[in-house]
C-alpha cells in the first residue's frame, strides 16, 4: 500500500501535468484577427477591466462573467458584429473571418444558435445578449467553419487615423454609451456639453482612436497631425501643455471621464468642433 507521502507526491505530479497541459492549450489557441484585438484592447481600457483579462481575450478565451460579456458587446459594436437594436450581425464577423463567407450552412447554424441563446437572456441585458451570440460563433469556429480550403489570411492592419475615423469613433462610442438623440444632435454640430454621458463619450473616443490614454493623457503627436497645420509641433505641444497644466489641479484624479473631457476635448474644443462640422455628414 502506498504511503500518504507517496499519494501526495503522485497527486502533485498529476496536478503539474494538468497545469502544463492547460497552459499549453491556452497558449496554442488561435489569436483573434488584428482588428478584433485592437477593439478588445480599447474596450478593456475603457471599461476598466484588468489587463490580465486582455491576455485571455487575445488567446480567444472569453470567461462567462459580466466584465467579459460587456467587453464583447463593446468590441462587437466597434468591429460590427453586434448592435443593441439590430442584434447579432454576421456580416461583421465575415469581414474578420472571410473564410466564413464560403460556408452558408455554418452561417445558418450560427444565426440559429444565436437567436435561441439571445432569446433566453434578460431583455435589457445587452452585454449577455452580445456575449451569447458571440459564443455561437466561437463554437462554430472550433471546427474551422467546415471549410476545407480556407481563404488565405488577409492583412487587417488598421487604417491611418484621420477625420473620418474620428467621426466613425464618435458614432461607435455613441452606440456603446447609448447616447440619447438630443445629445447626438448636439455632437453633430460640434457641441459637447459638460455632462456625464458626454464626458464618458469623449474618453471612449480618445481610447478607441489612440488620441488619449488614462495614464499618458492626450497623444500630442497624433493631435498635432490632425490640428497642427501652420505651427511647429513644439509650439503646438507648448500650448497644449499650458491648457492641461492649468486645468489639472481642478480635476478629480479618480474621475477618468472628467480627466479625458478636459484634457482631450476642452483643450482642443475649437479644433474638434471645426473637424466635426466639416465631416458631420459622415455621422450615422
Q: Would you say 231 and 247 are in contact if contact means Cβ atoms under 8 Å apart? A: no
Whole-angstrom distance, CA of residue 131 vs CA of residue 203: 24
Closest-CA residue to 194 (of 112, 257, 130): 257
Cell of residue 160, nine digits: 491611418
Answer yes or no: is 175 within a domain.
yes
Cell of residue 252, nine digits: 478629480
Contacts for 220 with CB less than 8 Å, ≥ 6 apart: 233, 236, 237, 240
What Å distances lie between residue 199 and 49, 92, 118, 176, CA to CA? 19, 28, 31, 13
Q: Are residues 126 and 203 in the same domain?
A: no
Residue 30 is predicted with a pLDDT of 75
Q: Are residues 139 and 176 in the same domain?
A: no
Residue 145 is predicted with a pLDDT of 65
Residue 280 is predicted with a pLDDT of 64
Answer yes or no: is 13 within a domain.
no
Q: Are residues 167 and 135 in the same domain?
A: no
Q: Are residues 269 and 169 in the same domain?
A: yes
SS3 186: helix
Closest-CA residue to 207 (of 26, 52, 43): 43
Say which CATH number the domain at 95 has: 1.10.238.20
Q: Is pTM, for the whole model, over 0.75?
A: no
Q: Are residues 171 and 239 in the same domain?
A: yes
Answer yes or no: is 264 within a domain.
yes
Residue 178 is predicted with a pLDDT of 93
Answer yes or no: is 182 within a domain.
yes
Domain extent for 204: 163-282
Q: Are residues 41 and 132 in the same domain?
A: yes
Q: Are residues 103 and 203 in the same domain?
A: no
Residue 249 is predicted with a pLDDT of 76
Answer yes or no: is 169 within a domain.
yes
**Please, what is the end-to-end C-alpha distance for the chain in angstroms?**
74
**Which letter, b or e, does each residue of 118-156 get, where b requires 16 or more Cβ atoms within 10 Å of its Cβ?**
beebeeebbbbbbbbbbbbbeebbeeebeeeeeeeeeeb
Query: Per the structure, how many domains does the chain have?
Result: 2
pLDDT means per 10 residues, the chain with 284 residues, are 47 39 40 92 94 91 93 95 92 88 86 89 92 91 58 42 78 93 89 93 93 90 84 88 85 87 90 80 56
Q: Are residues 120 and 180 in the same domain?
A: no
Answer yes or no: is 265 within a domain.
yes
Amino acid at each position: 500500500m502506498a504511503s500518504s507521502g507517496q499519494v501526495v507526491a503522485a497527486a502533485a505530479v498529476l496536478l503539474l501535468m494538468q497545469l502544463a497541459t492547460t497552459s499549453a492549450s491556452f497558449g496554442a489557441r488561435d489569436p483573434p484577427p488584428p482588428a478584433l484585438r485592437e477593439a478588445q484592447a480599447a474596450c478593456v481600457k475603457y471599461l476598466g477591466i484588468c489587463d490580465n483579462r486582455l491576455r485571455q481575450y487575445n488567446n480567444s478565451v472569453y470567461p462567462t462573467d459580466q466584465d467579459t460579456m460587456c467587453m464583447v458587446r463593446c468590441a462587437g459594436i466597434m468591429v460590427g458584429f453586434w448592435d443593441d437594436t439590430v442584434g447579432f450581425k454576421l456580416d461583421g464577423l465575415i469581414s474578420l473571418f472571410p473564410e466564413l463567407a464560403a460556408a452558408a450552412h455554418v452561417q445558418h447554424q450560427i444565426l440559429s444558435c444565436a437567436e435561441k441563446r439571445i432569446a433566453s437572456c434578460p431583455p435589457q441585458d445587452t452585454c449577455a445578449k452580445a456575449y451569447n451570440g458571440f459564443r455561437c460563433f466561437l463554437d462554430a469556429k472550433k471546427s474551422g467553419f467546415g471549410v476545407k480550403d480556407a481563404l488565405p489570411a488577409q492583412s487587417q492592419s488598421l487604417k491611418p487615423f484621420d477625420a473620418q475615423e474620428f467621426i466613425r469613433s464618435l458614432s461607435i462610442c455613441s452606440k456603446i454609451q447609448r447616447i440619447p438623440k438630443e445629445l447626438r444632435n448636439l455632437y453633430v454640430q460640434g457641441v459637447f456639453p459638460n455632462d456625464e454621458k458626454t464626458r464618458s463619450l469623449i474618453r471612449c473616443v480618445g481610447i478607441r482612436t489612440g488620441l488619449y490614454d488614462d495614464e499618458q493623457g492626450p497623444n500630442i503627436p497624433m493631435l498635432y497631425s490632425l490640428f497642427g497645420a501652420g505651427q511647429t509641433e513644439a509650439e503646438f505641444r507648448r500650448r497644449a501643455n499650458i491648457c492641461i497644466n492649468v486645468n489639472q489641479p481642478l480635476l478629480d484624479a479618480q474621475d477618468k471621464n472628467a480627466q479625458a473631457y478636459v484634457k482631450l476635448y476642452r483643450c482642443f474644443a475649437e479644433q474638434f468642433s471645426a473637424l466635426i462640422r466639416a465631416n458631420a455628414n459622415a455621422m450615422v
